[in-house]
Structure 1
Amino acid sequence: MTAPPPAKPLTLQEWETLMENFQSGNGIEKWNSLDPSLTDHLLSSLLRKDFPLQLKFQLLVFLDEFSISIFHSENLNRLIEALKTVIQSPPDAVHISPLFKEQFMISVTSVIVCFSEEDNVQTVIESLVELLLTVINRPNFGSDRHTRAIACECLRELERSKPCLLSDVVGHLWSLCQNERTHASQSYILLFTTVIHNIVDKKLSISILNTSHPLLPFSTPQCLNREDFGSDSGSGLNTKELRRALAFLLEWPQVLTPCGMMEFVSMVISVVVALELQPSMLKVQLFGMIHSYDPLLCHVVLAMFMHFLDAFDGQEGEVSSRLLLISRESHHYLVFRLLAIHWLLGFNQLVFNKQSRTEKKIETGNEACSTFYPSLFDPLALKALKLDLLASCSVLRQKSDSDYKSSSHDGDDGLVNPVKVFEQGLLSVSSFKWLPPGSTEIAVAFRTFHKFLITGSSHSDSDPSTTRNMLDSMIFRTLQVMLVNMTLESRRLVPVVAAFVDRLLSCKKHSWLGERLLQKFDEHLLPKVKMDYKLVYCFPIFDRIAENLTIPPRGLIALLTNFMIFLVEKHGPDTVMKSWSQGSRALGICRTMLVHHHSSRLFLRLSRLLAFTCLFFPDLEVRDNSRY
């Protein structure tokens, strides 16, 4: 009996159709029922020399994305064999390029990591690790340095998915790090650091100098198969050798890129904390990066500062000055300058929580806050963040000043003046008074009002005394006067002021502030408003006053009565419908008072106002629709 003819390979058009079907989720069953299987077609196409290299890259991405649908754990050995064939093939620019080898390693590693939790893939993982170790076991060869770096990154991902997978060969990895001198040394260093980090994290008692276990062939460490893996006590760690390894690693920061440095330091910090080592060794090697112009390196220093506050005692001012300088340098990207302000917000909170003014007066309050004032020509986003920083700093300084003043110190020299900070900070957005209500600068100004007002009373703080303290604060008193004057001088801002009051009233924590503002408007705004047709601009504020039960309605009723008298006096042929439209809005405020206030004094005064209105506008109907 003759054998069946070999299956015809898929054409380029068929592969493109197949990938489109998988992407859309339609027609997948047809491709999964191929004979030979889709796995066979995929692997054979990747190994064909007459297959376009560009389409091979697309197949590798397709393999990575749909590996669960294409492969079963029983077929993974064939995938490793295909990778081995590609790696051992001599590179050329047409069929198998170094970039193709690297992408193949990445895709296969991704597939194996997806299947790593299954029970029957240990042999496959060992085969892949052995193949990758073969690739990296050629230190200092310049021609394949990038391929070896990619192989190290693949090993790192396998080590992350199965911690301590490479613990038996950590001594060999250390030797490779010492011998590597090309730019691939970063990947070797990060691989070695990852293994050290996992050994410390899992409290594994092994010798990292021991090279008795051969690098090749590779076998899975026995400790990974133990049920109590990772539950050993910390006393089993070989601290002396780990210290030596850490000292070696700290000699190599200069070969790391900023991204590599972030990963490196995040792992080293965990090792230092777990081994209870002196953080000064990190400080000496890495603190100078705060003066770099790369945001990632600055982030590394701040991460160390956060973990080791005591080790950086006395250098808070240097860090703060550097971050402030970054935010001021206009040649930096705006996003970096904004990031520096965000860092300062968190950094100041951290420092002030750590150090009270009674222990050490770092610098005078007004001088400290003055360094954060936004410049007139700063971008608006930067101004907004700097004003947030001013609000936060002034509140923190006030808390410190209260402790400082209540201590044995005499006088108040250098204590922060929050009103001065508030007013000088607003100079950078002072043009908001003349801009349209919807302008961004107005939004920034009122956002600053809100920040200065409530920063001292967090929503997470359940203590009501903080809100009561704000009612008596100088900032709140200043803001009350400012909003009253703003309403009188720039009536186009009245809707914005009303929205600001609504924001306070809608907050359960800060509704008292909104009520107190309305009371201030009732006491100081109503007697000062000018009686003319432009009074209707203030009606949004009057509506809020009419709704509030804590404010007696007599002042508002008296104002509306005078307004009706004004309308009667000015009413004539030339006013057309102006009297009617404005009078109707005034009656709307009267209705609001009737709905919210239930007092005989209200009804008496309001009945006089309505009677007067009906007298001069006979066609106005005031009807009692109440039912019993």
Structure 2
Amino acid sequence: MAAGWSARISAFLRGPRRFLSGTSADSFLAELLRELRDDRAASGLKVLLLSPLCEHPALLCPSASSAEDTALELSAVFAQCPPTAVEFRCQLLVAVTCVLVCSPCTSGHLAASRDFLELLLQVAQDPQGGGLRATACECLREMERCCPGLLSQRLELLDGLRQQESSRLHQAYAGLHALVLRNAVHELTQQAGAGPEHLRALLGGNAPLAWEAEQDSGPTNGSGSAGLSSLLLGPMGAVPTLHTGPDCKELRAVLSSLLEESYLLTPLCQAALLHRLIEVVAMVPGIPPAIFRAQLLRLLGTSEVCLLHTTLLLKSAFTDSLFSAEDEAFMLKRLVVLSQHPLLSTPEKLFYMDCIAHFPENRPIGCGDGDEALPLLLTQQLASALLPTVFNDGATLLARLHLLCLVHLEEDGGEEDGAGGDGAGGDVGRGLAYLYDHLTSLLHIVESGGSREIVVTFFRASFLFLSHFHGVERYAAGLVERLCRLYLRQPQLAPQLINLADQTQARLPGCDWALGLLKALQQAVISAPLGRLTLRDLGWHLKTLARVAEEGEIPQHGTLGFLSGIVAPAASSLCGGGDWRLGNGVLGVCRRLLVHPSLNTLLLPLADVLQHLSCNYRDIDVQDRARLYYSLLTTLSQEKLVAVMEQPVSGGVSGQQVKKRTLSCLMAESEGLASALTVHQTGKTILRLREAGSTAPDAPPALDVTQAEAEECSDEAGGALDAYRAQFSEPGFASQITLRFQLTHVDADDPRFDQLFSIRLHFSLTDESYRDLQDVSVPCVFRERAAPVVELRLTPRLPYPTTLRVQAIFTTRDGLTWTSSLPDVHVAFQQTFQALPAPVSWGPASRLSVFQQLWEELSGEAGDCALSLFCCQLTDAALRALVGKHFPAFLVPDPSCEDEVKVLLFLPPQSHVLLRIRADEDAVHFSIATNDWRLLPHVNSYLLAVTSAPDHAPPTAAAV
């Protein structure tokens, strides 16, 4: 049993929704709870059974009522669990917490929430609880986090527990106390007229839980939790305040006690505790920020990243109310030192540099709302320690370069023109010159064959430098010149150069540096001698020229001269080779030239290039496209040519696209041809599948068993069942169900669809109980003729009821193709019933032997086998009519027992349902046995339906 549950839990956790498609969430949850209540189950198995509730509680308990019932059941299991099963009891508390916080029960309006909170508080106060107390404390913190204010009336109790605890659990109590205190103070800030007396009552109260006083105003699940995640993320003016005046002795005493004990906590818990207390002080102006002063000495000297981040939060919240100018200078210098410390990891150094870029100042000039604004104390002399070097990794180099660019931009304002390296610019000029020299050092490494990381770092560094100093003409022009030299040496860097130009144009709208780079690249390409040009380099040059041709301000005569030189008859290496990619590269440049504003001056040379390609290029596709472009160029006006060649911005058919169609005078579009090539959508349902008359299923393929062998099997114990099961060794034996439907027109009368041809039916599954169905083809459907019969061959994975969605595509008499949705096809449970797939030579004795042996085997309740009982009230005549109508193909005659009817149902792929129907004095008993217990709900529903049919006496049915 444990192995079976382990496999089922593993299957559920791998795909919960797929797993539940074969059963219902309610039934699976009921099985889990039933097994958890079983005292015979091992503790380890019970811990495993709780994992679905911990991982997917909302899926198993989607409503408040189901969550409440589940929580009450688990709480009852917890009460009955022996104290020695500590791990199981801890997991039970976690499971109940998960169920409650993922449902509307957390509001406390339900008994399950109230009782569970009281249970957690009792466990947390139990001095003998051990590890269970830590779990209870974490569960309380999770409940309070998801529903702020649940424990606001128990602050005195939590304070006492924290002060009395001397073990390592003190840390958990301190974190819980700080969280509840923060939420309670925040609740007071939301109440009009709240004052110091309310705060004192809150701190000294130990009343029942908050919802008993405020049933209707209590917080709901998750309400406000998102807003309380942190009150310090936005500007401090948005923090709610509680006006209490200077009389806050009680709150100050609590905060001082928490702060004095904070050094006992781990760094992460200290950071979380300080974060909560910072929020409390920010909400209560009567508490001076100087209460944190005693902690600053320890925090300013810490090496823990989380505590340093908390110190920055303190500085952001209270600035000069807590930090002096000396503290600010010390913190900034410490960040500079830490951001270059050799023993720290790269992520830590990047974090410190980011803290410098967003350093909260005591006296900021302006509030940047999170934008980068370097502190005034970060001078060039202090920042010189962060100058980037080629030995830095890519991320560190870019971060340092960005920081130094901001420093020099603040000092110099970006106006460097005319300042010599050691002239009027002074130190500022030398600093900026160093950054430019560093950029050129990276460029030299790239020229020497640097790695991909170096190449990426160089281009990103170039963009950073340009984004700050693109107005410094001396450096901007020098970078263009160096990039052109780099491109001539390594043409494969064309994509990076194009991307640099694109990003500069997009991010710096008023900058014309990208235009200058593209002009220089064009000049470098067209000036290179053609004799030294390789086909590999030519592909990159064509990409570059295609990008240059997109700029209307750049003249394109040089580009056309270059194209003429490479496609001329003398240069047969290109046209004669017939490389498809190079040909399309040339056509890509020509295509952009067709829409260039100066096309009138480029007409003749461009026509010559296209004519050369259409006549001499060996690739047929390139020839055809060149001929098309030539026809467009020589036929259309420039306005029409631009309208035809430009790609539409949106995917829909707009008025502008319709206009583009009318501009072309080459060929009138045939609306009839377009309509014939389009698959049209019918506005209504045209066809439907109607269930045809049921026929006896064909005998399934069977093994070659002689009559003598069959009779021998019926005589020997177990022989018939073994021979029957041997048939399933054949792949695909008895695995399909054949359903017959008539494909008919619906009642709607539309003459266009009276005669349909070449109908193709496509079936889509709505669950995973069956394998995918093949499409079905029907030659024709005429309204005036008999409806054709369609056979669907379903291959079940699980023989459950299902629904099939049907889509049809067909052709009408006018030659148009249509698609239409058909009404869904519902496959009922009884349609999966099949007769016993026994060998055709078997007699009644063998079938009876299989029935009896199967019944004995299923009665053992091994594996997934199950027994059940269905009772109803029927007369003898009604019972005979029911059996004769619904079970004639499945009867198993038994001459030795005339007062009992035996029915054997086979459900592919290998499921069996056995019925023993017997009429007693007070009711008719349907004894059920099956090798798959999951079929029992469907069997019960089916029996209830057939026994309640109008042609039978009204029954009073019950299933056991």
Instruction: Name the TM tier (shorter chain).
Output: 0.7 to 0.9
The match for 1:362 is 377
8 Å CA contact 1:401, 1:415 repeated in 2: no
Aligned residues: 564
The match for 2:251 is 242
Is 1:207 aligned to 2:200, yes or no?
yes
RMSD value over aligned CA atoms? 4.6
The match for 1:626 is 634
The match for 1:483 is 483
Distance 1:531 1:273 in 2: 72
DSSP 3-state at the match of 1:347: coil
The match for 2:150 is 165
Flag the 1:147–1:473 CA change in 2: closer, same or farther, 3 A: farther
Is 1:44 aligned to 2:37, yes or no?
yes
Q: How does 1:280-319 map to 2 (within 5 A)?
A: 280-282=290-292, 284-286=294-296, 288-310=298-320, 311-312=322-323, 313-319=325-331
Q: How does 1:326-337 map to 2 (within 5 A)?
A: 326-337=338-349
Give the CA deviation at 1:39: 6.3
The match for 1:133 is 121
Is 1:57 aligned to 2:60, yes or no?
no
DSSP 3-state at the match of 2:260: coil
Give the one of 5, 17, 23 matched to 1:15: 5
DSSP 3-state at the match of 2:386: coil
Amino acid at match of 2:377: I
Flag the 1:363–1:520 CA change in 2: closer, same or farther, 3 A: same
Give the CA deviation at 1:174: 1.4
DSSP 3-state at the match of 1:304: helix
Distance 1:349 1:626 in 2: 67
Distance 2:32 2:492 in 1: 70
Flag the 1:288–1:120 CA change in 2: closer, same or farther, 3 A: closer
8 Å CA contact 2:100, 2:106 repeated in 1: no
DSSP 3-state at the match of 2:295: helix
Is 1:107 aligned to 2:101, yes or no?
no
Flag the 1:488–1:26 CA change in 2: closer, same or farther, 3 A: closer
The match for 1:462 is none
Segments of 5+ residues of structure 2 without an aligned counterpart are 189-193, 225-239, 369-373, 637-960
> Which has the larger share of helix?
1
Distance 2:288 2:214 in 1: 31
Flag the 1:174–1:542 CA change in 2: closer, same or farther, 3 A: same
Distance 1:503 1:130 in 2: 60
The match for 2:454 is 441
Distance 1:222 1:362 in 2: 55
Distance 1:103 1:607 in 2: 78
Could you report, residue by residue, the CA deviation over 1:388-446 in whole angstroms, capped at 9, with x for unpaired residues? 434444444444999xx9xxxxx86543643432332563674122227x822111110
Segments of 5+ residues of structure 1 without an aligned counterpart are 1-10, 406-410, 457-469
Give the one of 382, 399, 402 matched to 1:385: 399
Is 1:195 aligned to 2:180, yes or no?
yes
The match for 1:340 is 352
Amino acid at match of 1:246: L
DSSP 3-state at the match of 2:554: coil
The match for 1:156 is 141
Flag the 1:202–1:63 CA change in 2: closer, same or farther, 3 A: same
Give the one of 66, 79, 83 matched to 1:84: 79
8 Å CA contact 2:339, 2:349 repeated in 1: yes
Flag the 1:500–1:80 CA change in 2: closer, same or farther, 3 A: same
Flag the 1:428–1:84 CA change in 2: closer, same or farther, 3 A: farther
Give the CA deviation at 1:343: 3.4
DSSP 3-state at the match of 1:189: helix
DSSP 3-state at the match of 1:28: coil
The match for 1:7 is none
Flag the 1:167–1:212 CA change in 2: closer, same or farther, 3 A: closer
Q: Which moved more, 1:77-86 or 1:174-183?
A: 77-86
Give the one of 460, 463, 486 matched to 1:450: 463
Distance 1:454 1:233 in 2: 42
Give the CA deviation at 1:187: 1.0
Flag the 1:254–1:428 CA change in 2: closer, same or farther, 3 A: farther
Q: TM-score, normalised by structure 2?
A: 0.51
Could you report, residue by residue, the CA deviation over 1:240-262 in whole angstroms, capped at 9, with x for unpaired residues? 32222112211122122222123
Amino acid at match of 1:577: S
Q: Which moved more, 1:156-165 or 1:242-251?
A: 156-165
Could you report, residue by residue, the CA deviation over 1:582-610 in whole angstroms, capped at 9, with x for unpaired residues? 99777975674454143554447x48997
Q: TM-score, normalised by structure 1?
A: 0.74
8 Å CA contact 1:338, 1:385 repeated in 2: yes
Distance 1:286 1:603 in 2: 76
Give the one of 360, 364, 387 matched to 1:373: 387
Amino acid at match of 1:373: L
Amino acid at match of 2:20: G
DSSP 3-state at the match of 2:391: coil
Could you report, residue by residue, the CA deviation over 1:191-233 in whole angstroms, capped at 9, with x for unpaired residues? 111121112101162426865646xxx5446553364999x99
Larger radius of gyration, structure 1 or 2? 2
Amino acid at match of 2:312: L
Distance 1:279 1:179 in 2: 27
The match for 1:463 is none
The match for 2:703 is none
Distance 1:608 1:67 in 2: 70
Flag the 1:552–1:350 CA change in 2: closer, same or farther, 3 A: farther
Flag the 1:159–1:400 CA change in 2: closer, same or farther, 3 A: farther
DSSP 3-state at the match of 1:415: helix
The match for 2:554 is 551
8 Å CA contact 1:384, 1:448 repeated in 2: yes
8 Å CA contact 2:305, 2:348 repeated in 1: yes
Could you report, residue by residue, the CA deviation over 1:140-174 in whole angstroms, capped at 9, with x for unpaired residues? x6x75543222222222222233332222211221
Give the CA deviation at 1:110: 2.2
8 Å CA contact 1:373, 1:424 repeated in 2: no
Q: Which moved more, 1:543-552 or 1:589-598?
A: 589-598
Distance 1:293 1:81 in 2: 48
Identity %: 21
Give the CA deviation at 1:269: 1.8
Amino acid at match of 2:349: R
Distance 2:6 2:401 in 1: 55
Distance 1:608 1:29 in 2: 71
8 Å CA contact 2:36, 2:49 repeated in 1: no
> Which has the larger share of strand?
2
